[in-house]
Amino acid sequence: MPSTWERSDVLDTLRKNENFCTITEVTANKWHHGAKVEIIRLNGVDYIKTVKDSITKDNLGELPTF
């Protein structure tokens, strides 16, 4: 079942070496497996990202923003 997590909870869980990946619903009950989610540290700040780049903001690919 899909779930929504607080940013701080995702960071805490990733720091415990647990894994996350993005997943989106394509049609009713059909899901698309996306990218691995990682912590990328930039300028001393941890960001949640699916792309290792130098942009200082979270980036979770195709997931909706709310």
Distance, in Å, from the CA atom of 43 to the CA atom of 54, rounded to the nearest integer, reads 10
- Residue 37: predicted pLDDT: 95
How many domains does the chain fold into? 1
- Residue 51: predicted pLDDT: 93
Distance, in Å, from the CA atom of 3 to the CA atom of 63, rounded to the nearest integer, reads 12
The parent domain of residue 36 ranges over: 7-49
The model's pTM is 0.81
Measured CA distances, 46 to 12, 51, 56 (Å) = 11, 13, 9
Indicate the pLDDT class of residue 62, thresholds 50, 70 and 90.
confident
60 Cβ contact list (under 8 Å, min separation 6)? 22, 37, 48, 49, 50
- Give the pLDDT confidence of 1-60 residue by residue, as tens digits: 678 889 999 999 999 999 999 888 889 889 988 899 999 999 999 999 999 999 999 998
Does 20 reside within a domain? yes
Does 1 reside within a domain? no
